[in-house]
Structure 1
C-alpha cells in the first residue's frame, strides 16, 4: 500500500476524502455542506477572547494549521484515549487501527495553538477537512488552564462522540496495544502515530505514563512479531 504524508496540500486537494472513499467505501463521509455547518456553529458559539485549538494527539507533532503562539494547557472533564477505531489512514476495514480522541472524564494536558482572527476561518476549514471526516468527533469550546490551574482562554477541542459507530473506548490495554502494533493504512502505521505522539508530549515536557506504557507494550509486540 502506498503511504501518503498528511500535509496541507493533501487535505486542500481533497486527498483525505479520496483515500477514505477508496479504502473504506462502507464509511459515510461528511459532506462539505455538513462540515461547513458544523464549523459555522462553532464560530457562532465562540467565546470572547483569542481563538485557540487544543492539540492532544497528532496536532501536537503535525498541526498543519498556522498558529502564532503555542503553550502547554490543561482541560478538565476529558482525557486522552485511543478510543476511535479507524478503517482508513492508519488501519483498514480488515484490521482497524486506533487513533486518539478526547473521551469523557478526567483531565488532559496538551498544547494550545492560538490562531489569529485574520486567518481563523481559513485554518479551521482546513482543520475540519482533516478531523471531521466521518463525524466521530464533537467539536466544542473548552476552557484552558495554565500550569498553575488558572484559566487563560478557550479552545476548540475535538471530543469523542460515544454514540458513533467507530467509538472504541474501554478496550483492554492488551487489545489496544495489539491494534496499535499491527494496524497500518494509507498515511502510515498506528504504531508510528503512538510513537510520534509520545515524542511530541515529551518535547513539550508533558508526562503521560499511560501513553508511555502503551508505547512499551507496542515495541514488545512488534519485536515478538519479528522473531
Structure 2
C-alpha cells in the first residue's frame, strides 16, 4: 500500500520543494503541498502546467519516474501555426533531435480544450493562428515535447500534461490535488478521488481513494 498525490502544477512553479537559486526564488511545491515525506515522481518543467505525481513510497516513485518502464505521458500542446497533417504524421513516426531520434508517439489534432486561463497569457498575434495537438510519448527527455513540435515547424506556446499512465488531471484546477491509495501488486484501477481546493494553500485532508498501479 502506498499513497500518491495527483497535483495540477500551475505555470511557473518548480517541481520540487526548494529553489537552489538564492536570489529571486521561484515558486515551489511547498506553497501548495503540506504533506511531509512526499516527493515528486518525475518532473514537469517550470513553464509547463498540469499533472505531477508525488508519493511517499520510494519504489513506487522509481517505478513511475524510471524511463525503463516507458510509462506513457499525454500532453496537450498549443502550437504556433495551423499544424498540418504531415507534421502530425511526422510526430507519430518519430522526430530527429540533437540527442537522437524519438520513439514513435501518438499524435492527433485537438479541438481547443476548455482550460483555465494562464497568467501571464500566451502571446497572441493577429496574423498567426494557433492550434492544439495531443501528444503521447513514452520517453522523458528534457523539454521533449517542445523540441519535437519545434522540429516539425510548430513551436509550442503552451503545454499541459494531462495524463501519466492511468492517472489524469480529471477536474483538478491549478493548485488543487487529490490523494489516492495504490495497491501493490497490480489490480484494476479505481475511480479518481475528489480534488482538494488549495486557495488558502492549507488543504484539509480527505479520505484517500484506493487505486492499483498498472504496468
Give the TM-score normalised by structure 1. 0.24
Give the TM-score normalised by structure 2. 0.25
Greater helix percent: which structure? 1
